[in-house]
Structure 1
Amino acid sequence: MNPLAELPPDVLVEGRRDALPIDAAATLATHPLEGVETEYPHYVGSVESPEGPLRPAARHPVFYGCFDWHSAVHGHWALVRGLRLFPDHPDEAAIVECIDRRLTDRNVAEEVAYFESNPSFEEPYGWSWLLRLAAELHLWDDPRADAWRETLRPLEAWIRDATRESLLDIERPQRVGTHGNTAFALAGVLDYARTVGDDDLATGTAATVRRLYTDDTATVTGAEPIGWDFVSPALTEADLLRRVLAPDAFARWLDGFLPDLSAQPHDSLLEPVGAEPDEGDGMAMHLVGLDLSRAWCLAGVAESLRAARDA
């Protein structure tokens, strides 16, 4: 039986290390560990030359698995986070060998070179996940994390600088339920900046958030989810704003943006989508992820509202 299925939902959403049994660590590592090693099938999201596309492992020697680049980055984040939260991780040796083998100076230089030739590649979703991976390595007090972070640093620096120059200057956000969602990306950037102590990036990101979102009112949620969403545009925005506004200010903003979340039409956001997992249909699996992303957004919103209530 899946050990996660036995946990109460509120405990699972909190994500506490001490709430998860050790066999949950192995469960959570199974798909990422397999995925980052799987080169095909692979989605190519770039314009090709007449010579044709390179093999994924030649194009992206670090992040070539998991069907696409951002998923490979996300998979590495999941593996690193598992090692950090579970010092006695049952798959530690396999994970360390897997990351050591691909995260080399030469491979990272190849990744950077690709971005220099394709500067909008994976903007903004993949950028956000790369910064989340760097932040996770920063949080982990372990010599292996320090070494991996140092090796990854050139790519981290490229993404960080590109974020300053491109993402923070956008005129209007994308309010979609898939990879282009601006709020999701900015949340990752802000969390990264605060984690690593990049005050300039944190200040600039917060200013962008205020410029793009603080005037929003009466959002429309009746059409969610659309197609193959894996995030809720409304809840993802709320989860971002609670990072920037003080609890009392956030509570006032939320009252105008999502008044009475428990009543129609917004109450549908509280109900599971109920998608049936189908590993053969990647797009349908997005809807499985939507329930998870809604849950973590609601948990963050609830935490801020609790702080406002108790102030």
Structure 2
Amino acid sequence: MDTLADIETDTVLSGEADRLRADVAETLSRYPLDSIETEFPHFVGFVDSPDGVERPKEQHPVFYGCFDWHSSVHSHWALVRQLRLFDDHPAESEIVGSIDARLTPENVDREVAYLEGNESFEKPYGWAWFLHLASELSLWDDERANEWRSILEPLERAIVSLVETEFLSQERPFRVGTHGNTAFALHCVLDYARTVSDDSLESAVVETALEFFAEDRDYPVAYEPLGWDFLSPSLTEADLMRRVYGREEFATWLDEFLPDVTSSPHDAILEPVRVDADSDEGVALHLVGLNVSKAWCLAGLASALDGHRYAEPFERSAERHAERGLAGAFTDDYAGSHWLSSFVLYLLTRNEGGIAPARTRSD
């Protein structure tokens, strides 16, 4: 699919939906809409008895598609966000019909029951994306959004509670480039707290972020990427801390956190990752996602560093990452198609609310 191939880079990095052509919405909805109803193949986790494995649709009657729970959740986020941002979405009736069919009180009760019996399930990545979905519904002034969020409210309450008791209480951060990344989950929870005006949760996230990351110095960016990374641990951490600090504080922190990324070997972090077509398909597609997520981090960092020596290098790097990432993001290979569109939408609409909203705390 080449619908996005000819979009100008400044339009991509603007993060504004109204600068995108009408046909972009159809492109962005195709894979998530198909995948949320695709039960197999599916990652069902470990088998803990000889009695067989319960079908994904039985375990997770709402979020059973997309190979895994978190991908189903952020695909729902992507579709809901598109309905909010794109007027007269070409797939509106299909999206609404698909979500309505699964989103019932009974199905949500089963999702809650599963989480209550498996309290570490999808910690923290799936929880983080679910809170993005909840905040997106809160932003959308629409009767359907109100109804869907009301139905999801028991699951929202359960996940917020688990975030507070099982995630924010952890003793140390995980600095990985995959699902366990602590900084990514913290920034999603912080965005949620600010969007729905949960001051207590916001304060707790800020406190945790400062405890984990405030003293980080001279981060080894030359080690990235490692293995199956689809996030940059260093840039994701910086993307969190720009939400935590004011501009001057953030610039001071960043100067100590990063080595000189304009000089070798540290400048490699500013270059898109080369995706080897001959490598394992799963790894290759994770690296496509890595380029997209680095693009949104770099663009956000550049916007927070007006006048700083890194502002222009970060902006130019974001352009290169966006171009490389979008070139490989729309694939019919299910290993990538079930999740990459969500990452692209995050990049293309990062300034449309729900992502890095303004700080509400006075300190």
TM range (shorter): over 0.9
Aligned mates of 1:193, 1:46 — CA distance in 2: 33
Aligned residues: 310
Q: Which residue of 2 aligns with 1:252?
A: 252
Q: Percent identity?
A: 57
Q: Helix, strand or coil for the counterpart of 1:5?
A: coil
| Kept after mapping to 2: 8 A contact 1:247/1:308 | no
For residues 1-311 of structure 1, the aligned pairs below 5 Å read 2-46=2-46, 48-275=48-275, 281-306=281-306
In the TM superposition, what is the alpha-carbon distance from 1:159 to its structure 2 partner? 0.4
In the TM superposition, what is the alpha-carbon distance from 1:282 to its structure 2 partner? 3.0
**Letter of the structure 1 residue corresponding to residue 242 of structure 2:** R
Q: Which residue of 1 aligns with 2:346?
A: none
Aligned mates of 2:83, 2:101 — CA distance in 1: 17
Q: Helix, strand or coil for the counterpart of 2:94?
A: helix
In the TM superposition, what is the alpha-carbon distance from 1:258 to its structure 2 partner? 1.2
Question: Which of 1 and 2 has higher RCO (CA within 8 Å, sep 6+)?
Answer: 2
| Kept after mapping to 2: 8 A contact 1:209/1:241 | yes
In the TM superposition, what is the alpha-carbon distance from 1:48 to its structure 2 partner? 2.9
**Letter of the structure 2 residue corresponding to residue 33 of structure 1:** L
Aligned mates of 1:10, 1:170 — CA distance in 2: 40
In the TM superposition, what is the alpha-carbon distance from 1:13 to its structure 2 partner? 2.5
**Letter of the structure 1 residue corresponding to residue 163 of structure 2:** T
Q: Helix, strand or coil for the counterpart of 1:169?
A: coil
Aligned mates of 1:175, 1:143 — CA distance in 2: 40
Q: Helix, strand or coil for the counterpart of 2:4?
A: helix
Superposed CA offset, 1:4-39 (max 9, x none):
111222321332111110100000111101110100
| Kept after mapping to 1: 8 A contact 2:230/2:288 | yes
| Kept after mapping to 2: 8 A contact 1:193/1:199 | yes
In the TM superposition, what is the alpha-carbon distance from 1:276 to its structure 2 partner? 5.6
In the TM superposition, what is the alpha-carbon distance from 1:308 to its structure 2 partner? 7.1
Moved more, 63-72 or 260-269: 260-269
Q: Helix, strand or coil for the counterpart of 1:166?
A: helix
TM-score (norm 2): 0.82
What root-mean-square deviation, in Å, do the aligned CA atoms of Structure 1 and Structure 2 show? Answer: 1.9
**Letter of the structure 1 residue corresponding to residue 7 of structure 2:** L
| Kept after mapping to 2: 8 A contact 1:277/1:285 | no
TM-score (norm 1): 0.95
| Kept after mapping to 2: 8 A contact 1:230/1:293 | yes
**Letter of the structure 2 residue corresponding to residue 101 of structure 1:** A
Where does structure 2 lack aligned partners over 5 or more consecutive residues?
Answer: 312-363
**Letter of the structure 2 residue corresponding to residue 251 of structure 1:** A
